[in-house]
Structure 1
Amino acid sequence: MTRFTRHLALAALAATLAAPAAGAGELGLQLYSLRTQMAEDLPAAFALMEKWGLEYAEGGGTLYDHPLDDYKAALDAHGIQVVSVDTSLDELRDNPMAAVFKARYFGAEYATFYWIPHDGAKGFGFDDADNAVKIMNEAGKLLKANGITLQYHPHGYEFTPHEDSTLLDYMLQNVTEAEFQMDVFWIKQGGADPVEYLQRYPGRFKSLHLKDRLPGTPDSTNGHADVETNVVLGQGDVGIAAVVAEAKRQGIEWFFIEDESSRVVQQVPASMAYLASLDEGDAD
C-alpha cells in the first residue's frame, strides 16, 4: 500500500484500501488553498491539514506576514513536508540560486513557478514563450546541478496558436532542462483536454494540480477565472477520474489538491474521499 493510498484512506475514514495501480504518486495540498486560514492562524491552518491526513504540501512562497522560521516551525510541528517551493520567472532570471536556497531551507525537491509576465492587452506571444524557454533552460540546469527540479505550471494563456499547434506545445517541445506541472483546471479552462495533453507529452508533467470546474463555466485563455467555480473533485467537468487514471498509468509522482474557493475547508475532505473512491474502484 502506498502512502498516497493511506492519506486518502484517512480522509475517507476507511479502515483499509487495496493497493492502487502501479506508479501511483503521493497526495499533497497546494498551500494557496488555505491562504485565508494561514493569514488568520497559521498553526490552526496546518493543524487542519494534519487532521485531514495530508503530510505533503506545495508552497512557501508567501508567508502571510509570518516570520520565516515560525512558518517552518509550524510546518514541522504538524508533520508537513514542503515538496515544492514557489519561485518566479523574474527570480529564475535574476537570481536562480535564491530558488535553490529556498528549496534547501524547506527540504523541497522541486521549485515551481506559475506565471510568465506578459502584456495582458496584447496577450501571450511567441517572444514571451521563447524568453521563458531560455530562462527555464538556463535556470533549470543550475537548479538540477543543485538537486532541485524546476517546474512550470501553465495557466491557459499559453494556448495561443503557434504554427500548427500552440505556444504551450512550443514550450513543451523546447524546454530541455526543466519540467512541467499540469493544473488540470487550467488546461480545461483553456479549452483543451488534460488527458489528451498527458498522452501527447508522456513524462513531461511531473506533478498535477487536481482541481475541478463547475459545469457550464465558460472557457478563457487569459489565465483568470472565478475561484468560486472550483468544486469538489468529481463534481465538475474536468474529468478527474480519467486524469487520475492516466497519471497513475504514467507514474506521475505528485498529486496536489488545490481548491481556491471560499468552501475549501468543506471541499478538500470531500475531494479526498472522491479520490479514495477511485482507488476502491481500481481494487475491484
Structure 2
Amino acid sequence: MKTILSLFLVLATAASALADGAFTGTTGLQLYSLRNQFKLRGVPWTLDRVKSFGITEVELAGTYNLSPEEFKKELDQRGLIPVSGHFPYGRLKTDLDKVVSEAKTLGLKYAGCAWIDHKESFDEAECQDAIATFNKAGEALAAAGITFFYHCHGYEFEKHADGTLMDVLIKGTKPEFVSYEMDVLWVIFPGQDPAALLEKYPTRWKLMHLKDLKKGVATGSLSGGTDVKNDVTLGTGQMNWPSIFTAAQKVGVKHFFIEDESPTSEDQIPNSLSFLKNLKW
C-alpha cells in the first residue's frame, strides 16, 4: 500500500511540474536602457553598472562615441557578450557594407533594425520598400555569418486585406535572410496579442525585448510611441507574462533583453531581474 501511495505522489508531483511554468531564458539588457548614463557618466562607468546587475548578454544601439573596436574592447574587459545590435534603416540602404563590417568587428550574432523610416502612417509602399531593404541586408549579413532581424515598433499593425502590414512584412521577407525581434510593449500598445503573434509565425522570432506597459495606459494606438515613463518594472504593468513566455519558449525564442526606456531604468532593472528570477506559473 505504501509503495502504491508513494508512486501516486511521485506521479502527482510530476504532473504538477509539467503544468507549471517558469522563465528559463538568459536575460540580457538592451544598452539603450542606459543611454543617459552613457552620455553623462561615460562608457566604462555604465558598463560596470551593467556588469553589477549580473547581466552577461547585451544588445547594442550604437557605441557612444567610441569606435566599434574600442567599444568591443570595453565589453570584453567586463565579460559582456554583444549578442545583437540595432542599426538605422537609412544605413541599411546606403551604407550596408560598413554595417556588415561593424557588426563583424563587434562580434554580433544578430544585427537588425528597430525603426522603418515612414510618413505619419505606415503604408504599403513603405512596407514593400522595407521588404526589399531587409532582404538585401539579410543576404549581405548572412554571407558574413550574421542573422538579420527586424524589431517591430507598433505602427506596422495598420490594417491590410485580412490582416495587417506586419503580416505583409513577415510574409514578404525571406525566412533564410530575415528574422524578427518582438518588443512586447510595441505589440500590446497597438492592441495586439504577443502570444498569438508568436504562434502565428513560429519560426521567425529569434529575439525578444522584455518591457512592461504601465497599468491604465490605453492601447490601440499605431503611433509607435508613448511616454517613456510608461515603461515600468516587469510584472507591475499590463503584460500577461506567463502567456508570453509560454509561447516564446514554445516557438524557440533564443535571446531575451530587458529594455527599459524610463528615466528610472537604473533603479527598475534590478527589480525586473528579480521578477524574472522568481516568476512561476
Match of 1:51 in 2: 52
Which SS does the other structure have where 1:82 is aligned? strand
Match of 2:198 in 1: 198
Q: Which letter maps to 1:95?
A: D
Match of 1:159 in 2: 157
Unaligned runs of 5+ in 1: 1-19
Which SS does the other structure have where 2:270 is aligned? helix
In the alignment, is residue 93 of structure 1 matched against residue 93 of structure 2? yes
Which SS does the other structure have where 2:82 is aligned? strand
Match of 1:145 in 2: 143
Match of 1:117 in 2: 117
Match of 2:11 in 1: none
- State the distance in 2 between where 1:93 and 1:66 align: 23
Over aligned residue pairs, what C-alpha RMSD do you find? 1.8
- State the distance in 2 between where 1:66 and 1:252 align: 31
Which SS does the other structure have where 1:134 is aligned? helix
Give the fraction of aligned pairs with identical amino acids, expressed as a percent: 35
Cα deviation, residue 134, structure 1: 1.1
Match of 1:106 in 2: 106
Unaligned runs of 5+ in 2: 1-19
- State the distance in 1 between where 2:24 and 2:107 align: 22
Match of 2:17 in 1: none
CA contact (8 A) 1:21 1:249 kept: no
TM-score (norm 2): 0.87
**Deviation above 6 Å: which 4+ runs of structure 1?**
20-23
CA contact (8 A) 2:88 2:113 kept: yes
Match of 1:235 in 2: 236
- State the distance in 2 between where 1:24 and 1:96 align: 35
Give CA deviations for 1:137-187 in whole Å, capped at 9, x if unaligned. Answer: 122112112101110011100011100110001111111121110000000
- Larger RCO, structure (CA 8 Å, separation 6 or more): 1
For 1:9-24, what aligned pairs fall within 5 Å after superposition?
24=24
For 1:210-229, what aligned pairs fall within 5 Å after superposition?
210-219=210-219, 220-229=221-230
Q: Which letter maps to 2:257?
A: F
Cα deviation, residue 196, structure 1: 1.0
Cα deviation, residue 71, structure 1: 2.6
Cα deviation, residue 23, structure 1: 10
Pick the structure with greater CA Rg: 2
- State the distance in 2 between where 1:254 and 1:264 align: 20
